Amino acid sequence: MTIKKLLVRKIAGAILGALAVAAIFSLVGYSDDGATIADYLRELAVAVASYLPATLLLQRLTDRDNAILDIVGITCTGSALSFLMKLIFLEGKNGIPAYIARSTREHSWKPFSDLAFHSVSFII
Protein backbone atom coordinates (compact mmCIF):
# COMPACT_ATOMS: atom_id res chain seq x y z
CA MET A 1 0.00 0.00 0.00
CA THR A 2 1.27 3.49 -0.71
CA ILE A 3 2.08 5.92 2.04
CA LYS A 4 -0.87 8.14 1.15
CA LYS A 5 -3.35 5.26 1.47
CA LEU A 6 -1.79 4.20 4.78
CA LEU A 7 -2.09 7.72 6.14
CA VAL A 8 -5.71 8.04 5.01
CA ARG A 9 -6.52 4.70 6.64
CA LYS A 10 -4.86 5.77 9.88
CA ILE A 11 -6.58 9.17 9.93
CA ALA A 12 -9.98 7.56 9.29
CA GLY A 13 -9.30 5.12 12.11
CA ALA A 14 -8.24 7.92 14.43
CA ILE A 15 -11.42 9.89 13.72
CA LEU A 16 -13.61 6.82 14.28
CA GLY A 17 -11.69 6.07 17.47
CA ALA A 18 -12.14 9.64 18.67
CA LEU A 19 -15.89 9.40 18.05
CA ALA A 20 -16.03 6.15 20.02
CA VAL A 21 -13.94 7.47 22.90
CA ALA A 22 -16.05 10.63 23.14
CA ALA A 23 -19.23 8.56 23.16
CA ILE A 24 -17.95 6.20 25.86
CA PHE A 25 -16.65 8.99 28.10
CA SER A 26 -19.88 10.93 27.64
CA LEU A 27 -21.98 7.90 28.57
CA VAL A 28 -20.02 6.76 31.62
CA GLY A 29 -17.98 9.78 32.65
CA TYR A 30 -20.68 12.10 33.93
CA SER A 31 -23.03 12.13 36.89
CA ASP A 32 -26.54 10.71 37.04
CA ASP A 33 -27.85 13.68 35.04
CA GLY A 34 -25.95 12.44 32.02
CA ALA A 35 -23.82 14.31 29.54
CA THR A 36 -25.08 17.22 27.52
CA ILE A 37 -24.28 17.86 23.88
CA ALA A 38 -21.66 20.38 25.04
CA ASP A 39 -20.01 17.68 27.18
CA TYR A 40 -19.94 15.31 24.22
CA LEU A 41 -18.48 18.00 21.95
CA ARG A 42 -15.84 18.83 24.55
CA GLU A 43 -14.89 15.15 24.83
CA LEU A 44 -14.85 14.85 21.04
CA ALA A 45 -12.61 17.91 20.67
CA VAL A 46 -10.10 16.51 23.16
CA ALA A 47 -10.20 13.07 21.51
CA VAL A 48 -9.74 14.40 17.97
CA ALA A 49 -6.98 16.74 19.15
CA SER A 50 -5.24 13.75 20.72
CA TYR A 51 -5.70 10.94 18.22
CA LEU A 52 -4.92 12.89 15.03
CA PRO A 53 -1.49 14.08 16.24
CA ALA A 54 -0.80 10.56 17.51
CA THR A 55 -1.63 9.24 14.05
CA LEU A 56 0.58 11.76 12.30
CA LEU A 57 3.42 11.11 14.75
CA LEU A 58 3.30 7.35 14.30
CA GLN A 59 3.00 7.71 10.53
CA ARG A 60 6.13 9.84 10.55
CA LEU A 61 8.08 7.51 12.83
CA THR A 62 7.16 4.13 11.34
CA ASP A 63 7.27 2.58 7.90
CA ARG A 64 5.33 -0.58 8.62
CA ASP A 65 2.01 -1.74 7.22
CA ASN A 66 0.66 -3.68 10.18
CA ALA A 67 -2.90 -2.80 11.16
CA ILE A 68 -2.71 -4.38 14.64
CA LEU A 69 0.44 -2.48 15.59
CA ASP A 70 -1.06 0.72 14.17
CA ILE A 71 -4.19 0.30 16.27
CA VAL A 72 -2.23 -0.38 19.46
CA GLY A 73 0.27 2.41 18.84
CA ILE A 74 -2.30 5.04 17.96
CA THR A 75 -4.57 4.00 20.82
CA CYS A 76 -1.85 4.15 23.47
CA THR A 77 -0.26 7.34 22.17
CA GLY A 78 -3.63 9.03 21.62
CA SER A 79 -4.86 8.03 25.07
CA ALA A 80 -1.70 9.39 26.70
CA LEU A 81 -2.10 12.69 24.84
CA SER A 82 -5.80 12.77 25.70
CA PHE A 83 -5.05 12.23 29.38
CA LEU A 84 -2.56 15.09 29.41
CA MET A 85 -4.95 17.39 27.57
CA LYS A 86 -7.76 16.59 29.99
CA LEU A 87 -5.51 17.34 32.94
CA ILE A 88 -4.53 20.66 31.45
CA PHE A 89 -7.69 21.88 29.73
CA LEU A 90 -10.60 20.17 31.49
CA GLU A 91 -9.34 20.82 35.01
CA GLY A 92 -12.22 20.27 37.42
CA LYS A 93 -11.51 17.96 40.32
CA ASN A 94 -9.03 15.92 38.28
CA GLY A 95 -6.91 18.73 36.88
CA ILE A 96 -3.26 19.38 37.63
CA PRO A 97 -4.05 22.33 39.96
CA ALA A 98 -6.30 20.04 42.03
CA TYR A 99 -3.49 17.49 42.46
CA ILE A 100 -1.01 20.22 43.43
CA ALA A 101 -3.46 21.74 45.92
CA ARG A 102 -4.16 18.33 47.45
CA SER A 103 -0.44 17.60 47.68
CA THR A 104 0.29 20.85 49.52
CA ARG A 105 -2.76 20.45 51.76
CA GLU A 106 -1.81 16.88 52.75
CA HIS A 107 1.96 17.52 52.73
CA SER A 108 2.60 14.30 50.84
CA TRP A 109 3.39 12.90 47.42
CA LYS A 110 0.43 10.49 47.52
CA PRO A 111 -1.74 12.62 45.18
CA PHE A 112 0.93 12.31 42.51
CA SER A 113 1.07 8.53 42.92
CA ASP A 114 -2.73 8.59 42.56
CA LEU A 115 -2.26 10.65 39.41
CA ALA A 116 0.25 8.14 38.03
CA PHE A 117 -2.13 5.25 38.75
CA HIS A 118 -5.02 7.17 37.18
CA SER A 119 -2.98 7.91 34.07
CA VAL A 120 -1.97 4.27 33.56
CA SER A 121 -5.54 3.06 34.05
CA PHE A 122 -6.82 5.78 31.69
CA ILE A 123 -4.40 4.78 28.95
CA ILE A 124 -5.21 1.09 29.33
pLDDT in tens, 20-29: 888 887 777 6
- CB-count exposure of residue 98 (10 Å: 0-12, 13-18, 19+): middle
By CB atoms closer than 10 A (0-12, 13-18, 19+), residue 70 is buried
Distance separating alpha carbons of residues 3 and 27, to the nearest angstrom: 36
Segment 66-121, tens digit of pLDDT: 778 888 888 888 888 887 777 777 655 666 677 777 778 887 787 777 777 767 77
d(CA 16, CA 112) in angstroms, rounded, equals: 32
Residues 30-72: pLDDT tens digits? 666 777 888 788 888 888 888 899 888 888 887 777 778 888 8
Is pLDDT at 12 greater than 80 in this prediction? yes
Q: Are 19 and 32 in contact (CB under 8 A)?
A: no
